[in-house]
Structure 1
Amino acid sequence: MSLHYATEIRSLFERLHSGIVTVDGIHPNANPSTQIAFLHDIANKRLAAASEGEFVEIKAWRRAYSLLGLKPTQYRCAAEALLRRYRKGGEFPELHPLISLCNAVSLAFAIPVAVFDLDRVTGDMTVRPANGEEYYESFAGETEHPESGEIIFADTSGRAHARRWTHRQSGWSAVSSTTWRVMIVAEALHETSREDITALLSALTQSLCQIWPEASVSVEDTM
């Protein structure tokens, strides 16, 4: 499958740059602790110098949310939410090792990273404004309909896999113990987004190959 952006998204956010990593062969019997420790060390050094709200990556997402009519401190992008939680508590619950790794990558680069179970996605994925008829399943199993005009990740069946762009993913396509194929998406909006997405993809793929050496990993620098 592939990822597309609606024309109005590309026009409104000229600095938007994203990258995709597709992995075949993910399983939960892996130990990413070495890679995560290295990435957490990067995040620790950045947070020791400034709070996440001062990072250029996070400021760019706050501006984007404001432009979309959302209160940026009410609807935080996933990277800011992770950094804020990490700075306050320092620990995350033990989840699937892939989720732990991607969270650590997001912390280190201050860039939202989404992970989708490809066997739960129909056709291609498009980042676009909602029409209000799409359906979204929360992690609690509740069905919601995104507001008309809200930016979502939508597949060809009309299912929304993320709400308010990078704010909240759906439980429907979340990684589980049975997940085998995934699509990992990283998006940035700041001035050096292209260079930083490239660096993120490099760090992520290197870690993936170390943790899941038998998996098939492909990378696409989309825009």
Structure 2
Amino acid sequence: MIKLAEDIKKLVPSFKLGTILYHDIVIGESPQMLKGRFQLFLESLKLDAEQLSVSDNPGVQEWRKTFKMLSMDPSRYRPSAEALLRRVYSGKDIGLVNSAVDVNNFFSLQYGVPIGIYNAAALSGEVEVRLGSPEDQYEGLNGRLMNMEGKLLSSDANGPFGSPIVDSKRTMTSPDVTSALQIVYLRPSMSTEEAAKLLAAIEKMFIQIHGGSAESFIVQ
């Protein structure tokens, strides 16, 4: 169902993705357990900010390097995990959206990797992670029309719908979504064993909160 384009494999031979497909889930407001855990984690990050900079984060370092290997400017188009961490380190809040997005943000900050969550029912055909062509664009969650030429993106039969920069409105999750696809942009240096443990941790929390069932894969 999900494949990685050959040009990405050539440019970043150790590139790997984690994918989790969820079935029969219930998305809503995040439970108090997640809110409390997230808030404690954010407070610890704010304490870290007194001694560390965003560039000290290993995940941020690795994804900036990966973007450069793909000829993407990480200072102009920041990996989403870095953008989140910059908000926290500058003292800004990470707003709660819904339980699916909040879980994504929690793990993205914890591991320093971009993570996308998509309405699986809005996807059509095979999903491919590739570099954008001149005609690739979509309306982002930030409300902007995103020109995706030369940028790392995910696409289906209807065109691009997500990236480790910002995702599209077309496949966004909401309380009426009952099946979802999660794409975890793993750090290339991660071993397959480390990647499997990370996916298992994400899947476990997601199912605890949303119910349903899941299946996960590593794509490389």
Normalised to the residue count of structure 1, the TM-score between the two structures is: 0.84
8 A contact 1:21–1:220 mirrored in 2: yes
What residue in structure 2 maps to residue 146 of structure 1?
148
Normalised to the residue count of structure 2, the TM-score between the two structures is: 0.85
Q: CA distance change for structure 1 residues 176 and 29 in 2, over 3 Å: closer, same or farther?
A: closer
Q: CA distance change for structure 1 residues 37 and 111 in 2, over 3 Å: closer, same or farther?
A: farther
In the aligned structure 1, how far is the partner of 2:71 from the partner of 2:38? 33
What residue in structure 1 maps to residue 160 of structure 2?
160
8 A contact 2:139–2:169 mirrored in 1: yes
In the aligned structure 2, how far is the partner of 1:80 from the partner of 1:23? 26
8 A contact 1:105–1:200 mirrored in 2: no
- Select 1:182's aligned residue among 164, 171, 180: 180
8 A contact 2:142–2:166 mirrored in 1: no
Per-residue Cα deviation, 1:88-130 (whole angstroms, up to 9, x for no partner): 2352222111101111011111111111111111111111122
What residue in structure 1 maps to residue 2 of structure 2?
3
What residue in structure 2 maps to residue 96 of structure 1?
98
In the aligned structure 1, how far is the partner of 2:52 from the partner of 2:200? 25
Q: CA distance change for structure 1 residues 194 and 45 in 2, over 3 Å: closer, same or farther?
A: farther
Q: CA distance change for structure 1 residues 197 and 36 in 2, over 3 Å: closer, same or farther?
A: farther
Counterpart amino acid of residue 108 in structure 2:
S
In the aligned structure 2, how far is the partner of 1:40 from the partner of 1:200? 21
What residue in structure 2 maps to residue 110 of structure 1?
112
Deviation at 1:78?
0.9
Is 1:64 matched with 2:61?
A: no
In the aligned structure 1, how far is the partner of 2:5 from the partner of 2:195? 20
Query: Percent identity of the aligned residues?
Result: 21
What residue in structure 2 maps to residue 217 of structure 1?
214
Counterpart amino acid of residue 27 in structure 1:
V
Per-residue Cα deviation, 1:40-73 (whole angstroms, up to 9, x for no partner): 6556656726333112221121112223333312
In the aligned structure 1, how far is the partner of 2:151 from the partner of 2:97? 29
The 5 Å alignment of 1:3-152 reads 3-29=2-28, 31-35=30-34, 37-38=36-37, 41=40, 45=44, 48=48, 50-89=52-91, 91-139=93-141, 145-147=147-149, 149-152=150-153
Counterpart amino acid of residue 175 in structure 1:
T
Query: Alpha carbon RMSD of aligned pairs, Å?
Result: 2.4
Per-residue Cα deviation, 1:155-191 (whole angstroms, up to 9, x for no partner): 122x1112xx411111111112211110001112342
In the aligned structure 2, how far is the partner of 1:37 from the partner of 1:177? 21
State the SS of the aligned residue for 1:89: coil
State the SS of the aligned residue for 1:22: strand
8 A contact 2:24–2:213 mirrored in 1: yes
Can you give the 5+ residue segments of structure 2 that lack an aligned partner in the other structure?
none
State the SS of the aligned residue for 1:178: coil
In the aligned structure 1, how far is the partner of 2:44 from the partner of 2:194? 17
Aligned length: 217
